[in-house]
A and B are shown apart, each in its own frame.
Chain A
Amino acid sequence: MAMTATASPSATLLAARRCLGFTLLAALLLSLLMGLCAEPVRAAVEVRDFDSPVTAERYRSLTGALRCPKCQNQAIGDSNSPVAKDMRERVAALLREGRSDREIQDFMVARFGDYVLYNPRLEDRTLLLWGLPATLVLLGGVLVALIVRRRRRASARELSADERARLDALLNRPPDASGDH
């Protein structure tokens, strides 16, 4: 970088312009790539008609919170896999039958297991899952409180006989011994 200081002004300008050009090109390529990646996701969603906007919204939230069993981390509403399509169709059919969200989730869990729930339920089996973070936070809080209390007590404790003797010696020093003033 020390070289730029000796370079002529026109060369610096040229370099800056080239840099800007590269940045613009990179941004263009990136936006193109992002457009390409977004395409299959859009293609996965069929158009569905529901009798009310409330049902349509429930469909959207259910398909967003049910996990595709074939994929590692995609909701059935985002996935192109055949099983996700079947599940979306079933969710729509069950909604039209007037089933509740809970019933639809139960229906899917009975077939595909707890894996399909992005939001695991609070049950005996999931107690560890839900309880561990809370327990750890609580434990951490207790630990911090204990440390703070101990520190406070340590700073406020009385001086030992040794320390008091040293302090007395310092305080009762004859004035002429303190050479520096």
Chain B
Amino acid sequence: MKRRLLLAIPLLLFIALAALLYRGLSLDPSSRDSALLARDFPAFSLSSLEDPEASLDASLLEGEVTLVNVWGEWCPTCKQEMPQLLDLAARGVRLVGVDYKDSREKGRAFLEEFGNPFEVNLFDPEGELGFELGVYGAPETFLVDADGVIRYHHTGYITPEDVTETIMPEVRKWQ
């Protein structure tokens, strides 16, 4: 009987490995935790999309829980995401945009067409702030707490379900 059990070990190992690999099949390889979680929002000095003369830095994000959304006129998913961001703004969440690798004209036209849920938009034509944030494709969204620490990161499209099921609970958690 003991020998029989020993013979089953390879089968059990195989089943465990198969279960592990099967789970891997359904994971999204492009979504992974940001390296910046639990770290300060990177320092920056940028103008705003609205005002080329403005000089904004990381102190902009202190004092209130803020959702920072990296977008660009060239990014189709950002357009689909706008209704969800407007919904978040309507729920009282403070949003700051980062207009990433874009031109002022195109960025402004985008907001006119799809709505502007942002309190202010940082203008990042060279993608410097995006690089510091480890952005590898827009849209990406970061939740920053009142002390300016990054608490949550969302890669890619925010679905209407994400708003109620993930993002709003995260916002409340850090408020």
A interface list, Cβ under 8 A from B? 69-70, 72, 81-83, 86, 90, 109-115
Give 16 pairs: A residue, B residue, CB < 8 Å, sorted on A.
A70-B136, A70-B137, A72-B29, A81-B136, A83-B135, A83-B137, A86-B127, A86-B131, A110-B35, A111-B35, A111-B133, A112-B35, A112-B136, A113-B35, A113-B134, A114-B35
Asked if B34 lies at the interface with its beta carbon under 8 angstroms from chain A, I say yes
> Per DSSP, are chain B's interface residues mostly helix, strand or loop, or mixed?
loop
Asked if B165 lies at the interface with its beta carbon under 8 angstroms from chain A, I say no
- Smallest CB–CB gap between A132 and chain B, Å? 12
| Complex contacts, B137 vs chain A, CB 8 Å | 70, 83
- Smallest CB–CB gap between B39 and chain A, Å? 8
- Smallest CB–CB gap between B114 and chain A, Å? 22
Contact A113 B34 (CB under 8 A): yes
When C-beta atoms are compared, the residue in chain B nearest to A89 turns out to be: B131
| Complex contacts, B136 vs chain A, CB 8 Å | 69-70, 81, 83, 112
| Complex contacts, A69 vs chain B, CB 8 Å | 134, 136
CB interface residues, B 14-63, toward A, < 8 Å: 29-30, 32-36
Contact A90 B34 (CB under 8 A): no
When C-beta atoms are compared, the residue in chain A nearest to B37 turns out to be: A113
Asked if B151 lies at the interface with its beta carbon under 8 angstroms from chain A, I say no
User: In the complex the two chains form, what is the Cα distance from A72 to B133 in whole Å?
Assistant: 20
User: In the complex the two chains form, what is the Cα distance from A170 to B135 in whole Å?
Assistant: 84
Of the candidates A69, A70, A110, A111, the one having the most CB atoms from chain B within 10 angstroms of its own CB is A111
| Complex contacts, B101 vs chain A, CB 8 Å | 82
When C-beta atoms are compared, the residue in chain B nearest to A90 turns out to be: B131
A112 and B134 in contact (CB under 8 A), knowing A82-B101, A86-B127? yes
| Complex contacts, B133 vs chain A, CB 8 Å | 111
Q: Give the size category of B's interface with A.
A: 10 to 19
| Complex contacts, A114 vs chain B, CB 8 Å | 35
> Per DSSP, are chain A's interface residues mostly helix, strand or loop, or mixed?
helix
When C-beta atoms are compared, the residue in chain B nearest to A83 turns out to be: B136
Asked if B170 lies at the interface with its beta carbon under 8 angstroms from chain A, I say no
| Complex contacts, B134 vs chain A, CB 8 Å | 69, 111-113
User: In the complex the two chains form, what is the Cα distance from A14 to B135 in whole Å?
Assistant: 62
- Smallest CB–CB gap between A80 and chain B, Å? 13
User: In the complex the two chains form, what is the Cα distance from A112 to B29 in whole Å?
Assistant: 14
Asked if B87 lies at the interface with its beta carbon under 8 angstroms from chain A, I say no
- Smallest CB–CB gap between A48 and chain B, Å? 18
User: In the complex the two chains form, what is the Cα distance from A90 to B135 in whole Å?
Assistant: 14
User: In the complex the two chains form, what is the Cα distance from A69 to B36 in whole Å?
Assistant: 14
Contact A113 B132 (CB under 8 A): no
Contact of A111 among B30, B33, B127, B132 (CB under 8 A): B132
| Complex contacts, A109 vs chain B, CB 8 Å | 35
Contact A111 B131 (CB under 8 A): yes
User: In the complex the two chains form, what is the Cα distance from A110 to B133 in whole Å?
Assistant: 9
| Complex contacts, A86 vs chain B, CB 8 Å | 127, 131
| Complex contacts, A82 vs chain B, CB 8 Å | 101, 127
User: In the complex the two chains form, what is the Cα distance from A70 to B134 in whole Å?
Assistant: 11
| Complex contacts, A115 vs chain B, CB 8 Å | 32
When C-beta atoms are compared, the residue in chain A nearest to B134 turns out to be: A111
